[in-house]
Amino acid sequence: YVSTDPINDVEFEVKEWARDKKSEIETLRKQEQFRREFLSNISHEFKTPLFAIQGYIEAVQEDNFEDQEMAQQFLRKAQRNLDRLNYLIVDLDAISKLESGEVPVNYQKFNLGGLVKEVIESLEKKATEHKITLWFKEKYDHSTTVHADREKIRQVLVNLIDNSIKYGKEHGNTYIKTFELHDQILVEVTDDGSGIEEKYLPRLFERFFRTDKSRSRQIGGSGLGLAIVKHIVEAHQQTITVRSTEGIGSTFGFTLEKVKQPFPLTDT
Ligand code: ADP
């Protein structure tokens, strides 16, 4: 290509440059708006439990407050709100580290069944307290070797199973199942708990999103658990899905890269 019109060329370049700059400014503007919303979400999420704690303490401190039973009840409520602040700080720390890219995905090959068992063990006590039974049947041990960041996938499993306990019903069940796909493993966590209204499903993985029910029922949580899950799964270039029916239960599923076995084992 030999230019015959240098002025036209320069004009073209300037236009290109202006277009690039415009989209750069657009991106910066979006980032700025995102940051503002994030901060306002955070301060809102902190204010609610802080005001509650202040209210309960002030009530108990009043001179004529003699009802010991009610005092205990108020202190328990204050404690629950403190727990909520704690969850918030731990989860905020996790999500900000994930988003800054500070913690890269540390790929390893590991047996998924072993990790699921560890996570179940760590949550068994909480499940029993909530009268929920955790089920995991590992049929084909050799087929569940995956290539992923073991610690991050632990977090994914903890968050999903923990939710199934929190939003489960008394004497309910959580089933953890793994399925072998072509070159992936699909992990599903299914509960027979409260389920989620269909209108909420598209927003479930957003930061700080909680359904009205979980807000009003005062279930401990930060509203960041599923945002963290999505972040981790997508950092592995894998997918996360949810199916749910209100009153019936929910299934959260995510995929992992399967490690092909050099010598296929037979089931004889
Ligand atoms: P939270 O800290 O509130 O549990 P999450 O991000 O983990 O935050 O979940 C977001 C919301 O999705 C929850 O507040 C709850 O309303 C809903 N949710 C998540 N998992 C389940 C489940 N297994 N059953 C019913 N609702 C769920």
Ligand 1 in contact with 249 (CB < 6 A)? no
- What does the pLDDT look like over 104-116, one tens digit per residue? 899 999 999 999 9
| Any atom of ligand 1 within 6 Å of the Cβ of 191 | yes
Its ipTM equals 0.98
Query: Considering the entire predicted model, what is its pTM?
Result: 0.81
**Residue of 167, 174, 224 to mutate, ligand 1, most atoms within 8 A of C-beta:** 167
Closest ligand 1 atom, residue 249 Cα = 24
Q: Is 214 in the pocket of ligand 1 (CB under 6 A)?
A: yes
pLDDT in tens, 50-76: 999 999 999 888 877 778 888 899 999
Beta-strand runs (E) in the chain: 108-111, 132-136, 145-148, 172-180, 184-191, 240-245, 249-258
Q: Which residues pair with 132 in a beta bridge?
A: 172
